[in-house]
């Protein structure tokens, strides 16, 4: 992996997509937890999953500029695999920070998102969208 301007450009775009994903994630989580009264970990997982699909599409076409639909199912499977591992990391961090250390739920979630973002970028840069 060469750390050049293209790498940093992709990292910046991935970060911007990630910020949009945070809005989607928090929005879905909040609606599910506060309005629909779903269990907080189910709400957290639903928010994460909706944001994953949104992030995949934005990253595919804007960050990594993949054109065409050939191999899209395999590519999404890879992306989803990293996201699912990220979801486990996310819920573990939320559990530890909120459940055990009594951080505010949304502060714990924000910290979890920051940790998982690094995991997701590196995995997808190196494996999913490598050219």
Q: For residue 67, count other CB atoms closer than 10 A to its CB.
A: 7
What is the number of residues in the chain?
Answer: 131
Query: Nearest Cα to 84, choosing from 40, 114, 45, 111?
Result: 45
Tally: H helices and E strands in the chain: 4, 0
Task: Tell me what pLDDT residue 49 has.
Answer: 87
Each residue's pLDDT tens digit, 120-131: 999 999 999 986
Each residue's pLDDT tens digit, 69-85: 888 889 999 999 998 89
**pTM score, whole prediction:** 0.75
| Residue whose structure tokens are 């920070």 | 97
Task: Tell me what pLDDT residue 109 has.
Answer: 87
**What are the residue ranges spanned by the domains of the chain?**
5-128
């Amino acid at each position: 992996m060469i750390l050049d301007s293209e790498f940093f450009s992709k990292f910046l775009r991935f970060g911007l997509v990630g910020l949009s994903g945070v809005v989607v994630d928090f929005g879905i989580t909040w609606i599910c937890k506060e309005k629909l009264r779903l269990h907080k970990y189910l709400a957290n997982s639903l928010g994460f999953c909706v944001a994953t699909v949104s992030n995949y599409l934005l990253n595919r076409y804007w960050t990594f500029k993949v054109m065409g639909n050939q191999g899209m199912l395999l590519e999404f499977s890879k992306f989803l695999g990293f996201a699912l591992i990220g979801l486990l990391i996310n819920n573990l961090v939320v559990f530890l920070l909120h459940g055990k250390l009594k951080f505010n739920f949304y502060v714990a979630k924000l910290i979890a998102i920051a940790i998982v973002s690094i995991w997701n970028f590196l995995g997808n840069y190196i494996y999913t969208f490598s050219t």
